[in-house]
Each structure stands twice: as C-alpha cells, then as structure tokens.
Amino acid sequence: DSGVTQTPKHLITATGQRVTLRCSPRSGDLSVYWYQQSLDQGLQFLIQYYNGEERAKGNILERFSAQQFPDLHSELNLSSLELGDSALYFCASNPPDRTDTQYFGPGTRLTVL
Amino acid sequence: GENVEQHPSTLSVQEGDSAVIKCTYSDSASNYFPWYKQELGKRPQLIIDIRSNVGEKKDQRIAVTLNKTAKHFSLHITETQPEDSAVYFCAASISRGSTLGRLYFGRGTQLTVWP
C-alpha cells in the first residue's frame, strides 16, 4: 500500500457523460500527479498540482480538467466522454524532501460504453 | 520533451536465470531514473531508482546501471522467480523549472518467468 488513495475503483459510463475521479495523496505530500494508462498510449502524464496550484501540464485534453483542494486531495474531471477515454487513471504523490520519487495510487478503471 | 525508449517489449526467462531490460532517453538534462513493476490491473510499484550522480545501484536481486554519456540505463534482475513476472516500466524525470517531477515512461516490458 503506497498511502495514496483513489476513488472509485471502477467506473462505467456512456459516451457524452461526465465523471469525477478523486485522489488523496500520502499524508504530508503536497504534490499530486495524474497519469492515464491505455493500451495504445502507454503511461502518459496529464497534469501536476503542488499545494493547490497547477504546476505542469502534459497531454491533457481540453475536455479534461483538474484541481487540488486546500486539504490537498485532487479531482480529475472528464467530460464529453468518448470511447477512447477508456483507460486506467492513476494519481501519484511525492514527499516534499524527495520531489522526484513518485508513489502511485491503486488507480481508477474507466470504461466508456 | 523527453523521449524514453524501452527494449525488449517482451522477455521470457527460465526461473533462476537473469533478465535485463534496457532504456534510452533523449534529454541530457534528465537526472532521475526510476523503475516500476506493474502486475495486471494494479498500480505501478517503485522497485528501484537511480540518480544521475550514481552509475550503479543494487538492492538484493535487482540492480540498475546508468550510462549518462550514452544516455541509457538498464534493469538487471538475477535469480529470477515466477513472482517476478509482471510488466516493468522505466522512466526518466527532468528536475528543472515547471517540469519538476513529471515522469516520462517507456512502453513497458512484459517479463515472464517460467518455473
């Protein structure tokens, strides 16, 4: 157990819908990273937050957005869902004194039908 | 941005043999290289990492080597066991400016250890 929690574990929804994925970093960690894992794209960085502020953006679609709240949990919002958005979504966090080491949560498996 | 390539994509070994997975990276500014093990449907789990000021690091049956000049790093697993079967990912990180910490992953290696 890495200490990073994610909910829900599984999500099944239809095209065009909107979902919210939730992540809580390890106690004391200030950063949250979101990654998408699909068969064709592999593990891809989406976005990073540090202490409530967006720090870096990767290959995140305009239909996707995220935020980090004062209690440091983060939410990833996916809207106008398409079949190709079906993937595993992971969040990760790192300790303040080791800003390169990332520990991953268990992931949310999103299935878009 | 950084580009990480990983080989081979699949690797089958007999129990007790060694396994080697190789990765190359493109950006000489990369300074952190972790390896993750992922079992089916589970989270990537950090198994070992190396920083650019070190050439080799070992943890029991696992070792990682880094060649900064050639921009490649490798994972070595000795005395493999069936429970080592999983997908292994290499990654690189550039710790500078706004890109601090984001990981660039290779495409993964499916390691199968036959008893």
Rounded Cα gap, residues B86 and B65, in angstroms: 20
* Residue A39: predicted pLDDT: 84
What does the pLDDT read at residue B8? 97
Nearest Cα of chain A lies from the Cα of B97 at a distance, in angstroms, of 9
Q: Which of B41, B95, B98 sits opposite A100 (nearest CB)?
A: B95
A104 lies within 8 A of chain B by CB: yes
Interface A:B, Cβ pairs < 8 A: 66
pLDDT tier at B100, thresholds 50, 70, 90: low
**CB A78, CB A64: distance < 8 Å:** yes
At B96, is the pLDDT very low, low, confident or very high (cuts 50, 70, 90)?
low
pLDDT for the residue numbered B97 = 54
| Proportion of chain B above pLDDT 70, given as a percent | 95
Q: Which residues of chain B have a Cβ shorter than 8 Å from any chain A Cβ? A: 31-32, 34, 36, 41-46, 49, 51, 89, 93, 95, 98-108
Cβ-proximal residues to A56 (8 Å cutoff; 6+ apart), any chain: A45, A47, A48, B98, B99, B100, B101, B102
Contact indicator for B65, B55 with CB cutoff of 8 Å:
yes
Q: What is the dihedral of CA A92, A58, A48, A93, to 10 degrees?
A: 10
Nearest CA to A67 among A87, A84, A44, A47?
A47
Of the partner residues B36, B93, B105, the one whose CB lies closest to the CB of residue A100: B93
Residues of B in contact with A29 (CB under 8 A): none
pLDDT, tens digit (0-9, with 9 covering 90-100), for A58-71: 989 999 999 999 99
Query: What's B26's DSSP letter?
Result: S
Q: How confident is the model over B39-77, as pLDDT tens digits?
A: 998 999 999 999 888 889 999 999 999 999 999 999 999
